[in-house]
């Protein structure tokens, strides 16, 4: 390794991992990668091509041709419920996961950016959030956090996020969808959602973003 720091933040949907990971990256001046977006991009490609996200060959093909350099990670459709569902389906396919390993490991090994960093264009560290960062993608990460929260609380957060965006959503449907996605993430054969043995597990059900951030920083420092 090149001497920089890698932080893994894993957990289920709306556990607060994205908020924490982004904040750690900003505070520490590290590069940040939301790895869920990679699976979302693959899911959205299939939706837009009129293909079934459950079509394993089509999903694998989309993941293989996926190019992080040209993908539009700001497309609002990436956050749609339909895309969330498709992402969860494609993420269970081993060939899709295998195709996306390198882009994640390259990011961890050579975090882009870093005005304050060491070598030109390389940040001093990387924060990656996802489901399998601490277990599969970066098992040697310097710090590992696994966030969790009660599913009802996570569904409420997700509803707020979608309503803030202007979407009309029903709590019970979001809750049902989240249960299905959790189940798929936790029970899939390859890289299931689970805390690494050496991860700090943080339950955010009654912890706001500031408290989760303060706790993570105290563990890092
Ligand atoms: O974190 P998210 O909700 O944006 O993730 C979208 C889907 O991708 C979710 O069903 C889990 C899956 N995913 C994964 O399997 N591995 C990751 N490292 C990140 C996300």
- Residue 207, Cβ neighbours under 10 Å: how many? 16
Q: What is the pLDDT of residue 1?
A: 45
Q: Is position 37 within any domain?
A: yes
Q: Is position 213 within any domain?
A: no
pLDDT tens by residue, 94-116: 999 999 999 999 999 999 985 55
Q: Is position 221 within any domain?
A: no
Q: Which domain holds residue 25?
A: 5-204
CA 132, 133, 136, 141 torsion-angle sign: negative
Q: What is the pLDDT of residue 115?
A: 52
pLDDT tens by residue, 76-85: 999 988 999 9
> How is residue 178 written in tokens?
């989240």
| Closest residue by CA, ligand 1 atom 18 | 130
| Closest residue by CA, ligand 1 atom 1 | 36
Q: Which residues have C-beta atoms less than 6 Å from ligand 1?
A: 13, 35-36, 39-40, 84, 87-88, 91, 130-132, 181, 185
* Best residue for ligand 1 mutational test, from 33, 85, 130, 199 (most atoms within 8 Å of Cβ): 130
* Best residue for ligand 1 mutational test, from 87, 100, 148 (most atoms within 8 Å of Cβ): 87
Give the Cα separation of 32 and 19 in Å (integer): 11
CATH number at residue 21: 3.40.50.300
| Closest residue by CA, ligand 1 atom 14 | 131
Q: Is position 216 within any domain?
A: no
Q: Is position 218 within any domain?
A: no
Using 70 as the pLDDT threshold, list the residues of the chain that sit under it. 1-2, 114-121
pTM for the structure as a whole: 0.93
Q: What is the pLDDT of residue 2?
A: 54
Domain total in the chain: 1
For residues 207 and 215, is the Cβ–Cβ distance under 8 A?
A: yes
| Closest residue by CA, ligand 1 atom 10 | 88
Q: Which are the contacts of 92, defined by CB distance < 8 A and separation ≥ 6?
A: 184, 188, 189, 190
Q: Is position 209 within any domain?
A: no
Give the Cα separation of 174 and 28 in Å (integer): 34
């Amino acid at each position: 390794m090149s001497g920089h720091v890698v932080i893994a933040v894993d957990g289920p949907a709306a556990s607060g991992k994205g908020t924490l990971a982004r904040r750690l990256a900003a505070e520490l001046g590290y590069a940040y990668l939301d790895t869920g977006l990679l699976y979302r991009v693959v899911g959205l490609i299939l939706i837009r091509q009129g293909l079934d996200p459950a079509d394993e060959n089509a999903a694998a093909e989309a993941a293989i041709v996926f190019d992080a350099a040209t993908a539009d990670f700001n497309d609002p459709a990436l956050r749609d419920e339909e895309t969330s569902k498709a992402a969860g389906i494609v993420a269970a396919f081993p060939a899709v996961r295998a195709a996306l390993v390198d882009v994640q490991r390259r990011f961890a090994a050579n975090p882009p950016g870093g005005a304050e960093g060491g070598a030109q264009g390389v940040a001093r560290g990387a924060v990656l959030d996802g489901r399998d960062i601490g277990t599969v993608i970066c098992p040697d990460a310097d710090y590992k956090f696994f966030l969790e929260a009660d599913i009802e609380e996570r569904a409420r957060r997700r509803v707020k996020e979608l309503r803030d965006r202007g979407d009309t959503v029903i709590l019970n449907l979001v809750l049902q969808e989240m249960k299905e996605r959790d189940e798929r993430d936790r029970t899939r054969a390859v890289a299931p959602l689970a805390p690494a043995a050496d991860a700090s597990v943080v339950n955010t059900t009654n912890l706001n973003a500031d408290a989760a951030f303060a706790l993570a920083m105290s563990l890092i420092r």
